[in-house]
């Protein structure tokens, strides 16, 4: 399932962020303008979104398993430090104006979702709020385990400053002491997504997160090394009882070059 590019468990702290006065809570209440059955693909043609699972006949056995939950995980819109080329990590950097416009544009190609979740960092939360407001999904729910890798002493630095302080590290894909390991980041995000899926069995969920941790989780699940542009992402499928499985990559906006700075 992976390889194609489309346009388009333990408890942790969480709370709710209101999606705005127009926020709606059920799929049948979604505004018609936001029900888009296809998303554009790189090259200009179109592909269907992940098909809905076929109806399953009702069974009386208590051993019946819930249907898989499909999760679209996307990176937040452009932040002020994305534009400046600075490592962010856990720094709570806001979206810039372009990032807000990107979130609004992404909402135009997203269909209805049963729920929307986000990292607690402002660049992700505001992206989720804008999409929720325009698509009538909400409230936005928060899980801190969806936040970006902690980049330790590289937080706030640009590429030249990192190279000056840690010569050769970027080229050699090395990370300094205090930089959260990608395995640890993938484990916490995976636990969060499994828990979210359990709360929405058989549903379709949108999650707004961060590029570094998204790549870490997909590598953990067997994907090659990947970078995600702002509002790029990928599907994951949670089969209850057997964990997360890779789905197709998506890009909600026209593709642009992607930096390796988190």
Catalytic residue among 76, 90, 120, 200: 76
Residue 14 to residue 119: CA distance in whole angstroms: 9
| Whether the Cβ atoms of residue 219 and residue 248 lie closer than 8 Å to each other | no
Q: Is 2 exposed, middle or buried (0-12, 13-18, 19+ CB in 10 A)?
A: middle
CB 144 within 8 A of CB 14: yes
Q: Angle 122-135/97-107 helices, nearest 10 degrees?
A: 40
Active site residue 210: no
95 forms bridges with which residues in the sheet?
A: 79
Catalytic, out of 148, 155, 180, 204? 148
Is 148 one of the annotated active-site residues of the chain? yes
Would you give the DSSP letter of residue 28? G
φ, ψ for residue 100, nearest 5 deg: -65, -40
Q: Which residues pair with 79 in a beta bridge?
A: 95
Distance CA 86, CA 95 (A): 13
Q: Which tokens in the block code for residue 57?
A: 């006949």
Cis peptide upstream of residue 139 (ω within 30 degrees of 0): yes
Residues with active-site annotation? 76, 148
């Amino acid at each position: 399932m992976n390889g194609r590019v489309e346009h388009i468990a333990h408890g942790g702290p969480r709370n709710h962020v209101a999606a705005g006065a127009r926020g709606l809570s059920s799929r049948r209440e979604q505004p018609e303008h936001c029900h888009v059955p296809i998303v554009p693909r790189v090259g200009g043609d179109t592909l269907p979104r992940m098909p809905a699972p076929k109806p399953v006949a009702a069974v009386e056995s208590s051993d019946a398993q819930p249907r898989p939950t499909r999760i679209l995980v996307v990176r937040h819109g452009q932040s002020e430090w994305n534009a400046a080329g600075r490592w962010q990590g856990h720094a709570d950097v806001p979206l810039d104006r372009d990032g807000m416009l990107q979130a609004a544009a992404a909402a135009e190609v997203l269909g209805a979702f049963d729920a929307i979740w986000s990292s607690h960092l402002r660049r992700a939360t505001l992206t989720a709020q804008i999409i929720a407001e325009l698509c009538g999904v909400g409230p936005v729910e928060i899980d801190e385990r969806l936040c970006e890798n902690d980049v330790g002493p590289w937080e706030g630095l640009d590429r030249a400053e990192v190279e000056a302080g840690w010569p050769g590290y970027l080229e050699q894909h090395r990370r300094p002491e205090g930089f959260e390991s990608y395995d640890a980041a993938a484990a916490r995000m995976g636990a969060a997504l499994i828990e979210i899926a359990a709360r929405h069995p058989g549903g379709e969920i949108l999650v707004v997160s961060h590029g570094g941790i998204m790549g870490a989780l997909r590598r953990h699940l067997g994907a090659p090394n990947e970078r995600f542009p702002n509002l790029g992402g990928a599907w994951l499928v949670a089969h209850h009882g057997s964990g997360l499985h890779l789905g197709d990559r998506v890009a909600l906006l026209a593709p642009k070059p992607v930096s390796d700075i988190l």
